[in-house]
Each structure stands twice: as structure tokens, then as C-alpha cells.
Amino acid sequence: MNKNSIIFTITITFIIALILLLISFVGLYKVSEKREKFFIIERSMDATKLFMRDFRHKGLTQELVEDLKLINFSIIIDPVQQNKILNNSNAKYEEVNMRGRGGAKVQPFQLDDSHYMYIQTRRGNVILEDNNKPERRIGSILIISAVIFFTFIFLYLSTLKKLRPLKTLKDKVQNFGDEEFDISCASDKQDEISLLANEFDKSAKKLKKLKESRNVFIRNIMHELKTPITKGKFLVELPQTKENNTKMQKVFYRLESLIGEFASIEELISTKKVLQNKEYHLRDIVDNAVDILMCDEDNVVTDFEDISVNVDFKLFSITIKNLIDNGIKYSSDKKVMIKTDGDKIIFENRGKELQYALQDYYEPFFSGENVKSNQSFGLGFYIIHNILNASAYSLEYIYENGVNKFTISPN
């Protein structure tokens, strides 16, 4: 065990406290034992004085026997019984021999749990038996000691249990340098260490979300910059005509707008910011999405009413752009049709049915049947899902008669 650890310090503290407690109880036990013995001797001496006073003048009378009974003492005068008691190997004699009046010798001793006074007089020898029941103070002390001892052990184990999350936290923190944020150390308790563990757990989940957002951000940059860079490289090799220069300007404009898109997506996914929604015409959003995608207008067939939607223009344009891009990319005729049905926006394309449930594609970098395809990074639906959630919209998918149909509906 690490000597600098809190657990080591607490363990040593408990051990020292337990040792001091045991020493205290041993001392108290000794004091109580001596005190109890003192009271027994005092009581026996009082009975002896009573016996000697009457026995010296009157001998052994019935009145003396009755007087001793009142204080729970009995007289043993039978020599056989006396010898049996005196010669018992378990008899424990006090070290001090006392003398009474008239030359009488008094020897206190104990046999099992009974106390006796052996009195030797000129008239004969007698044994006084103390019939008083012991007060059992010592037994009470032992019981109390045992209760406190086990209470200490319970408190120690309880304290270690409460400190256990600290060790878990230490082990988890060591993994942070390797960006391992899959941590679960939450607790339903309300002590300070558990609250610290809960906050750490929340922080780890936030960091995991930030890492995920960073990966999405980088992968999305790689994917989205590919088209304008390819077009730019092609235009550079062409003669510098006015038309080509205009196209080159559009490429740079596209690159600039992509940077803004990336920042918006990263901020949305990592911080769950509240969108500033306003009323926009669907036609304006679709036209902006087509411009961002830089696709041929022939690839997009529109047959919709110009309804109003309450959304964030930039982010909702990204959603439309991704649905158009997926529709074109995975259709058999490289066309996607956009329709409306009331306040619903529908995207249709002819092609194969999705192999997996739509929810599976919401996971980042999930690309299903295109997992080995260079044209998919598995981010399209992940971005769509997050933007629609933040915009209070949802996406539904059905496949009918060879047509994939994606429908955006307000919640």
C-alpha cells in the first residue's frame, strides 16, 4: 500500500485509535475487577465482624444464622464439607491472612463464582459463604468493548467503501492522456466523493462528445473539400478566360462557405447550441443547398410547393444538401426528386433499399454497404440527424416499388 495514500493514512489512524481504545478498555477492566474484588472483601469482612462479635460471646446461635442470612451469607460448620471445599484444587486463596479478635485467623478465598471466608477460632473452624450474586460489571464492560470494537471495524470498512470511487477515478484519469473517454463511474450516492465521481463522469462524456465532434469535423472536411479541390485543379489547367476565372472564383467561394459550414456543424454537435430559427422559403433553402453541393441542376428534379419552414438557414441547407447528395450518389439514374406533402419535405431516388435500419446510419462513420467505398465517410445521416433534432424535425424512410423515400416532418 502506498504510504502517501489517503487509504493508508486512514488505515493507520483507525489502527492507532483501535489500539488506544483496547488499552483503555483493558485498563478499565482491571480497575473494575479490583473494585469488584474490593467490595466483595469489604462485604465479607462486615459479615465476619458480625459473626465474630456474636460467636465469641454466645457461640453459634440460630439468631446469628438468621442475621447472616439477612445479608445473604450462610455458615458451613460440617468438617467434611469444609474439607471438601478447602481442599478443592480450584480454590483460590487471597495472599493476605487477616486476624480477628481473640486470636481468630481469617482467610478469604474463591471457589468457582462463590466467595468464602475461612475463620479459625478457639471454639472451632467455620466457613462463611457469600451468597450475593456478582454485579457483573466486568461482563458489561466486555460487552460494551465488543460492541464498540465491531462498530469501529464497521466504520472503517464503510469509510473504505466510500473512498473506493477515488481509486476508480485515479485509474480512469491515467487513461485520459490516451483519449480513452469511455468511462463509467457515476454513483447514486450523495457524499462528496460520489458527487465528484458523477462530475468526472459527466466531464468524460463531454470530452468523448468533443472527440467525436472533432473526428466528424476532420472527416467532413476531407469529404467536402474533395469536390471543390478537384474542380479547382481542373480549372487551373484550363486557359485563363473570363468564364474560367468566374468558375475559379466560385470554387474559392465554395471553399470559404465550407469552412463556415464545418464550424457550424462542429459547434452544433459538440455544444448542442440552441438554434436561431426564422421563417424561410423552401425554394431559397433548396437553391442554396444545390449551390453548396456544386452539382448539375439536371440531377435535382423539383416538384414542390414553396412552403415556409422555421429553421436555421445555414444548417438546414446542409441537411438538404446531404439528402440531395445521398440521393444522387446512390440512385440508379443519378437523379433525386424533391416533393412536398403539406408541411412534409420528401426526397425520392431510384436505387437499392438500405441494408440496415435508418437509425443505424445515424452513428458516425457508419456506411453500411458502402463501408469499403471511398465515396462514403458515414457522416451524412449523422449530421442530418443532429441538425434535424436541433431543429425540431424528424426523418422517416420507406422503400416502395424500387424508390427510396426520405421524408422530413416537423415534430
- Beta-bridge mates of residue 407: 346, 396
Which residue, among 342, 298, 300, 352, has the nearest Cα to 321 in the 3D structure? 300
pLDDT of res. 375: 43
Task: Give the Cα separation of 151 and 169 in Å (integer).
Answer: 28
Task: Give the Cα separation of 330 and 325 in Å (integer).
Answer: 9
Task: Give the Cα separation of 268 and 213 in Å (integer).
Answer: 9
Contact call for residues 6 and 163 (beta carbons, < 8 A): yes
β-bridge pairing 336-341 and 300-303: parallel
pLDDT at 173 over 60: yes
pTM for this model (two decimals):
0.46
pLDDT, tens digit, for every residue of 185-224? Answer: 666 676 667 777 777 777 777 777 667 766 666 666 666 6
Task: Give the Cα separation of 32 and 137 in Å (integer).
Answer: 7
Which residue, among 74, 6, 73, 84, has the nearest Cα to 43 in the 3D structure? 73
Task: Give the Cα separation of 84 and 267 in Å (integer).
Answer: 100
pLDDT at 272 over 70: no
Could you tell me where the DSSP H helices lie in 178-241?
Answer: 192-224, 226-236
pLDDT of res. 365: 58
Q: Where are the domains of the chain?
A: 6-137, 274-410
pLDDT, tens digit, for every residue of 301-333? Answer: 999 999 999 999 988 998 999 899 889 988 999
Q: Which of 37-46, 91-100, 291-300, 327-336 has the highest mean pLDDT?
A: 327-336
At the fourth CATH level, the homologous superfamily of domain 274-410 is Histidine kinase-like ATPase, C-terminal domain (3.30.565.10)
Task: Give the Cα separation of 29 and 42 in Å (integer).
Answer: 20
Contact call for residues 83 and 91 (beta carbons, < 8 A): no
Mean pLDDT of the chain: 80
pLDDT of res. 337: 96
Amino acid at 244: N
Q: How far is CA 20 from the centre of its chain?
A: 34
pLDDT at 373 over 50: no
Which residue, among 405, 327, 409, 397, has the nearest Cα to 362 in the 3D structure? 397
Q: In Å, how far are 123, 131, 217 from 258, measured between CA atoms?
A: 126, 104, 11
E strand or H helix at 267: helix 242-271
Task: Give the Cα separation of 159 and 165 in Å (integer).
Answer: 11
- Beta-bridge mates of residue 125: 120
Q: Which of 8-12, 259-263, 329-333 has the highest mean pLDDT?
A: 329-333
Residues 374, 378, 383, 385: what is their CA dihedral angle, to the nearest 10 degrees? 140
